[in-house]
Homo-oligomer: A and B are copies of this chain.
């Protein structure tokens, strides 16, 4: 971190730099969490990635769990594709989730464990849990008032989780994506009840 030329490190820029550092640490924690999961994330590695010291982290958060909870609260919302092809947009969304489960089957089960052992993480995850972007994508195919909309929205997340946790031999991203999108297409083809 270099000073901008010609600016004194006055109170305002000091505060600003402190905020930047906080943001950098939170982003590093969030990125690393998604890469290595709850079991393997270490404060030392977060510090290195953020270009900070461990001291800078522990001055801000009392525990690793507190840091992770804030990193989760701070995670950017998903920014799903919206083209003029709702079927392909949905497929891309579903495929992203299924690929993530295939590549890191441990991530969501690890998140569940972490939520159970740390109330701060539990609260952060539940507060931020929001599937509106999936719901919108499915609504574009079956209509916003369809009786199966809630369930189909949850199916896109629930199936990769169940298979990662209990039936890993069925955790194939391509197959799962086909199964889920073709179920939604079947519903879309029907006239609404």
Identify which of residues 122-180 in chain A touch chain B, using a CB-to-CB cut-off of 8 Å.
125-126, 129, 147-148, 150-152, 154-155, 157-159, 161-163, 165-168, 170, 179-180
- A129, A166, A170 interface centre (most CB from chain B within 10 Å): A166
When all copies of this chain in the complex are counted, the total is 2
Bound CA–CA A147/B175 (angstroms): 12
From A117, which residue of chain B is reached at the shortest CB distance?
B113
Given A126-B168, A148-B179, A148-B186, list of 12 further CB < 8 A pairs? A39-B116, A106-B116, A109-B112, A109-B115, A109-B116, A112-B165, A113-B113, A148-B183, A151-B183, A155-B155, A161-B165, A186-B193
From A116, which residue of chain B is reached at the shortest CB distance?
B113
- A106, A113, A126 interface centre (most CB from chain B within 10 Å): A113
Supply 27 A–B pairs (Cβ within 8 Å), ascending by A. Answer: A39-B116, A106-B116, A109-B112, A109-B115, A109-B116, A112-B113, A112-B165, A113-B113, A125-B166, A126-B167, A129-B166, A148-B179, A148-B182, A148-B183, A150-B179, A151-B155, A151-B159, A151-B180, A152-B183, A155-B159, A157-B162, A157-B166, A161-B161, A162-B162, A183-B187, A186-B187, A186-B193
